[in-house]
Amino acid sequence: MSDRPSVARPRPEPLDALIVGGGVAGLALAALLKRRRPSWTIRILEAQARPGGTVGSIRHDGFTTDVGPIGALDDADGVVPLARELGLAPVPAAPEASRRWVWANGGLRPLPTSPPSFLASELLGPAAKLRALAEPLVPAADREESVHAFLIRRFGYGVARALAEAAVLGVSGGDPTRLSLDALFPSVRDLERRHGSVLVGALRKAREAKTRAAATAGAAPRPRLHGFGAEGMQAWVDALAGDAGEALRTEAPVERLERSPSGTTHVTTADGARLEARRTALAVPPHAAAALVGRALPEVAAGLAAMRSAPMRVVGLGYHRIDVPHPLDGFGFLIPRDRGVRSLGVLFGSSLFPGQAPPEHVHLRVLAGGVRDPEAAELSDDAALAFVRRDLRVTLGVDAAPVSLRQVRWARAIPQAELGHAERVASWRAALQERLGVTLLGAAYGGIGLNGAVRDARRVAQAWAPEPAQEPERSG
Ligand SMILES: Cc1cc2nc3c(=O)[nH]c(=O)nc-3n(C[C@H](O)[C@H](O)[C@H](O)COP(=O)(O)OP(=O)(O)OC[C@H]3O[C@@H](n4cnc5c(N)ncnc54)[C@H](O)[C@@H]3O)c2cc1C
């Protein structure tokens, strides 16, 4: 027994902010808090060795394969302005990025992106176009609808059959009969609400943008896809992780979460370390959140665990330019189900960001899987490569073998915002705040994709560390 007098060690002060999950939502929240409250003690606990969650890139033989998203639109409150604040220079995708196709009737057909191109589209027969023209006469509805039901009600069956899958494949790999239009495309619902018609609203918005552009002698501003050039999205993750510095702990999976009588939250990691925090955000995917809150809130945990997530396989292929007959003069194409091609979509990566392939080469990125074909994400790499090469032969005429290849499988790639999503999330959030004092954060709950994740981080930052509203300047 030691004869030294025992000295009670002072209890460490609770952290000002603890973030469980170092995906982009968690990392973005840390970056925002650091700028708003430089004196705060902040800690981010990430389960994996690599932060970033589903965002990152693999460099291989001079090619870049993004393992998740390839970029984000330059929304005012999304990824692009935050990346600039961190000292990065996001790169706009080549202007051709606005050209997209759908695989239909054995060929690549342009995806309509404006009311005129919609009505001229080869994807729609004359009867479907006639019905679509009647869209402005359809009364607005004040209830949540699936993407599929919304398209049928406003534009008719022909449009829903031709375009519902294409509308959701690119953003969620999901099922348009179950995905909520209101959660996935709130701006489309907004057009209906404000203008009584999607077509009329879209035309008015385009006209207003043109008038504004003419007044400022500039081009009509359209949100543009931005990425990080040759480095891919890894540059964004590296910048966020670099900004977090010592605050970020990787390989630190959180196993337990409890509320203390004083209102702080106690978090325990797998190696037994315990941390206490005044504010805690749970920035983990739904299945992980379910495991953490199950003891305190079994009903919330059951709801989180039941949220579907689309599995996804990402196949990055490098080719000699001469081996790909298609000009690749656009973003790429989507492949609705039941059209004899198994992949979900093909992205012309090096057309968008030319540094993503060496000279005289091109990079293609194929996505497969989704909620309707989960096996495609589970197959062996060899079996998957066989169907991917067959699909590229049928759609783009590529016979040659790739000169470089990488595959990534995500068992749970993209959480699905299905009907009732907003209501469920609101009730989970309220219960978690009340019983555990934690805030649910991330793209699965607060918005779609990367911009949704960053926007949700801004919401939490504003709640925890409000920025004073700008005083309007007074004259006189
Ligand atoms: C193939 C693919 C393509 C995509 N394409 C696009 C696109 O083009 N545009 C777009 O905007 N979005 C796209 N997305 C979606 C986008 O990647 C996500 O919406 C976004 O990255 C989600 O970020 P997040 O931080 O909310 O969640 P996540 O990325 O899921 O991060 C959660 C983090 O929590 C960690 N974690 C889990 N459990 C624990 C625990 N117990 N303790 C500690 N940490 C834990 C995880 O390891 C992970 O790092 C795509 C996704 C995939 C997979």
CA 183 centroid distance within chain: 13
| Residue pair 413/370 in contact by the 8 Å Cβ criterion | no
Average pLDDT over residues 282-293: 97
Residue 301 in contact with ligand 1 by CB distance below 6 A: no
Q: How does pLDDT run across 318-365, given as a tens digit for each residue? A: 999 999 999 999 999 999 888 889 999 999 999 999 999 999 999 999
- Segments making up each domain of the chain, as ranges: 17-54+230-307+418-464, 124-215, 310-414
Higher pLDDT residue, 472 or 75?
75
Q: What is the pLDDT of residue 197?
A: 94
**Residue 339 gets which letter from DSSP?**
S
Q: What is the pLDDT of residue 296?
A: 93
pLDDT band at residue 209 using 50, 70 and 90 as cut-offs: confident
| Residue pair 27/241 in contact by the 8 Å Cβ criterion | yes
Q: What count of other Cβ atoms lies within 10 Å of the Cβ of residue 283?
A: 35
Is it the case that residue 378 has pLDDT exceeding 50?
yes
pTM above 0.95, yes or no: no
Higher pLDDT residue, 293 or 2?
293
The CA 52 to ligand 1 mean position distance, Å, reads 7
- The pLDDT > 90 percentage for the chain reads 82
Higher pLDDT residue, 212 or 320?
320
Separation CA 27–CA 38 (nearest Å):
15
Q: Do domains 17-54+230-307+418-464 and 310-414 have the same CATH topology?
A: no
Per DSSP, what are the bridge partners of residue 369? 312
Residue 415 in contact with ligand 1 by CB distance below 6 A: no
For 42, what's the count of Cα atoms within 13 Å in the CB-facing half-sphere?
29
State the Cα angle at 127 between 204 and 100, rounded to 5°: 55
**Residue 4 gets which letter from DSSP?**
S
Cα dist from 328 to 99, 100, 263, 318, 463, whole Å:
10, 10, 57, 13, 45
Helix or strand or coil: residue 343? coil
Q: Which atom of ligand 1 is nearest to the CA of 442?
A: 26
Helix (H) or strand (E) holding 393: helix 381-396
Separation CA 475–CA 248 (nearest Å):
46
Q: What is the pLDDT of residue 7?
A: 63
Strand order of the sheet with strand 42-45? 248-249, 42-45, 17-20, 280-282, 438-440
Is it the case that residue 429 has pLDDT exceeding 80?
yes
The CA 332 to ligand 1 mean position distance, Å, reads 23
Measured over the CA atoms of residue 422, residue 423, residue 424 and residue 426, the dihedral's sign is positive
Q: What is the pLDDT of residue 118?
A: 78
Closest CA to 364 of 408, 410, 332: 332
Separation CA 396–CA 324 (nearest Å):
7
CATH of domain 310-414: 3.90.660.20
Residue 312 in contact with ligand 1 by CB distance below 6 A: yes
Separation CA 70–CA 347 (nearest Å):
10
The CA 400 to ligand 1 mean position distance, Å, reads 33
Is it the case that residue 444 has pLDDT exceeding 70?
yes
Q: What is the pLDDT of residue 114?
A: 79
Closest CA to 291 of 280, 304, 279, 281: 304
The CA 244 to ligand 1 mean position distance, Å, reads 18
The CA 129 to ligand 1 mean position distance, Å, reads 38
Q: How does pLDDT run across 17-63, given as a tens digit for each residue? A: 999 999 999 999 999 999 999 999 999 999 999 999 999 999 999 99
Q: How does pLDDT run across 101-145, given as a tens digit for each residue? A: 999 989 999 998 777 887 788 899 999 999 999 999 999 998 999
Average pLDDT over residues 260-277: 94
* Secondary-structure percent of the chain, ordered helix, strand, coil, rounded to 5: 40, 20, 35
Task: Judge: domain 124-215, CATH 1.10.3110.10.
Answer: yes
Residue 104 in contact with ligand 1 by CB distance below 6 A: no
Burial class from Cβ neighbours inside 10 Å (0-12, 13-18, 19+) for residue 3 reads exposed
Separation CA 368–CA 207 (nearest Å):
38
Separation CA 259–CA 274 (nearest Å):
13
Q: What is the pLDDT of residue 57?
A: 98
Is it the case that residue 5 has pLDDT exceeding 70?
no
pLDDT band at residue 1 using 50, 70 and 90 as cut-offs: very low
Q: Which atom of ligand 1 is nearest to the CA of 451?
A: 11
Q: How does pLDDT run across 150-159, given as a tens digit for each residue? A: 999 999 999 9
Cα dist from 226 to 92, 340, 345, 350, 387, whole Å:
4, 32, 19, 14, 30
Task: Judge: domain 17-54+230-307+418-464, CATH 3.50.50.60.
Answer: yes
What mean pLDDT value characterizes the chain? 92
CA 97 centroid distance within chain: 18
Residue 310 in contact with ligand 1 by CB distance below 6 A: no
Separation CA 94–CA 225 (nearest Å):
9
Per DSSP, what are the bridge partners of residue 345? 334, 367
* Residue in the structure block whose two tokens are 């990392």: 27
pLDDT band at residue 402 using 50, 70 and 90 as cut-offs: very high
Separation CA 148–CA 150 (nearest Å):
5
Q: Whose CA is nearest to atom 31 of ligand 1?
A: 23
Separation CA 241–CA 249 (nearest Å):
10
Measured in degrees and rounded to the nearest 5, phi and psi for residue 273 equal -70, 140
The CA 53 to ligand 1 mean position distance, Å, reads 4
Q: Which atom of ligand 1 is nearest to the CA of 288?
A: 38
Residue 19 in contact with ligand 1 by CB distance below 6 A: no
The CA 109 to ligand 1 mean position distance, Å, reads 31
Helix or strand or coil: residue 372? coil
Per DSSP, what are the bridge partners of residue 265? 259, 277
The CA 127 to ligand 1 mean position distance, Å, reads 42
Residue 288 in contact with ligand 1 by CB distance below 6 A: yes
Measured in degrees and rounded to the nearest 5, phi and psi for residue 467 equal -95, 135
| Residue pair 296/435 in contact by the 8 Å Cβ criterion | yes
Residue 368 in contact with ligand 1 by CB distance below 6 A: no
Q: How does pLDDT run across 447-476, given as a tens digit for each residue? A: 889 999 999 999 999 999 998 765 555 543
Cα dist from 25 to 201, 233, 442, 456, whole Å:
32, 14, 5, 7
Strand order of the sheet with strand 91-92? 72-73, 225-227, 91-92
